[in-house]
Amino acid sequence: MARSFILALGADHGGVALKSRLAAALVEAGHEVQDYGTDSPASVDYPDFAHAVCTAVEEKRADFGILVCGTGIGMSIAANRRQGIRCGLAHDATTARLTRAHNDANVLALGARIIGEEVALDIIHIFLSTQFEGGRHERRLAKLNQATETTP
């Protein structure tokens, strides 16, 4: 069996239905899933759920976070405000692979209005099975949290 992970999942009302289906599939695949809500289609604010998942990742209670909203954009913006988070918004296999290989993403954002369940599961599978390449990308990651301009 492929390696299994502890995954923190979160969604707003735009992503809750897809999150539920993904959670079931991920448990079926042998992963441990922590579900940080939301749990219903009632309207909520995506940053609340992004921050709950990011805290779990930053505190190492989860290996990776997976955030789902309508587009994935709001979730990724919220997650990338966090110092310890690199959130990649992925719509396909290539963005899923490269956000791990180049950005060492520890949170994945998905758009439930943009992709379907099968594509989402392919993205998650690729995201979880791709290693960070290190090398020149280490230097770039080190500059991400610098508040001032750095020399190119």
**Binding range to ligand RB5, per CB under 6 A, among 25-33, 65-73, 95-103, 127-135:** 65-73
DSSP string covering 87-112, please? EEE-SSHHHHHHHHHTT--SEEEEET
CA distance 19 to 22: 5
Binding-site size for ligand RB5 (CB under 6 A) equals 8
Please report whether residue 74 would count as binding ligand RB5 according to CB under 6 A. yes
Please report whether residue 110 would count as binding ligand RB5 according to CB under 6 A. no
Min dist. Cβ of residue 71 to ligand RB5 (A): 4
Among 91, 102, 125, 137, which one carries the catalytic annotation?
102
Please report whether residue 70 would count as binding ligand RB5 according to CB under 6 A. yes
Please report whether residue 26 would count as binding ligand RB5 according to CB under 6 A. no
Task: Rank residues 69 and 128 by Cβ distance to ligand RB5 and give the closer one.
Answer: 69
Please report whether residue 78 would count as binding ligand RB5 according to CB under 6 A. no
Cα distances (angstroms) measured from residue 85 to each of 27, 96, 101, 123, 141: 24, 16, 15, 19, 11
DSSP string covering 115-131, please? S-HHHHHHHHHHHHHPP
Cβ contact 45:77 at 8 Å: no
CA distance 47 to 70: 13
Binds ligand RB5 (CB under 6 A): choice among 7, 8, 9, 12: 12
102 is catalytic: yes
Among 31, 51, 54, 69, which one carries the catalytic annotation?
69
Q: Which residues are catalytic?
A: 69, 102
Chain contacts with ligand RB5 (rule: CB under 6 A): 12, 14, 46, 69-71, 73-74
